[in-house]
Homo-oligomer: A and B are copies of this chain.
Amino acid sequence: MRADARRNRERVLEVACDVFAAEGLSVPVAEIARRAGVGTGTVSRHFPTKEDLLRAIILDRIERIVDQARALESLGDPGTAFYRFLAVMVEETAANRGLTEAFAGAGFDMEAASSGASDDVMGVLRDLLAAAQRAGAVRPDVEVADVKALIMGCLARERGDGDTAARLRMITVVSAGLRPDPAR
């Protein structure tokens, strides 16, 4: 691979990561190219479709989240692991509008793009939830899709990363709601 090609590829990736995080997935590819100082042809040669570009950026972020989840999994108390993962996932995603939209399923099919074991967020969430429920730390009737939707709720709190206190409050409320009756 030629040196300038590699450089351009890196540059596009970096710019795309920032722009999608700040302004969401609907930013035109041509705009990414413009800000990276390259032509649209250069972008679409390295990443034939917009989805390819998104995959390269988003799956990287998701892998980091999954890593943290796996680390929490081996933490001893399944309840603590589950609830801490809720907070981690919300915090990691809140500052990234593109990632939020990806989770919401807007313009990017995460399930289809995730093929490896290292990017299966739903899988790891399912494991954490099941363990926490076995330990009696989460209401037994709650399903993975419920938890995902509640996380989406926390992310819907507002665009951007401004209000950390509000996010914390949301997580507190949701966590309290998920706990079975006795344990408060």
Q: Interface of A with B (CB < 8 Å)?
A: 104, 139, 141-143, 145-146, 148-154, 156-158, 166, 169-170, 172-179, 181, 184
Contacts and interface: CB of A to CB of B under 8 A. Distances in A.
Nearest to A163: B145
B149 A156 contact: yes
Contact of A149 (B146, B170, B181): B170
Contact of A173 (B157, B170, B178): B178
Contacts of A153: 149-154, 156, 174
A157 B149 contact: yes
A146 B174 contact: no
Contacts of A152: 152-153, 156
A105 to B, nearest CB: 9
A40 to B, nearest CB: 25
B145 A166 contact: yes
A166 B143 contact: yes
A139 B184 contact: no
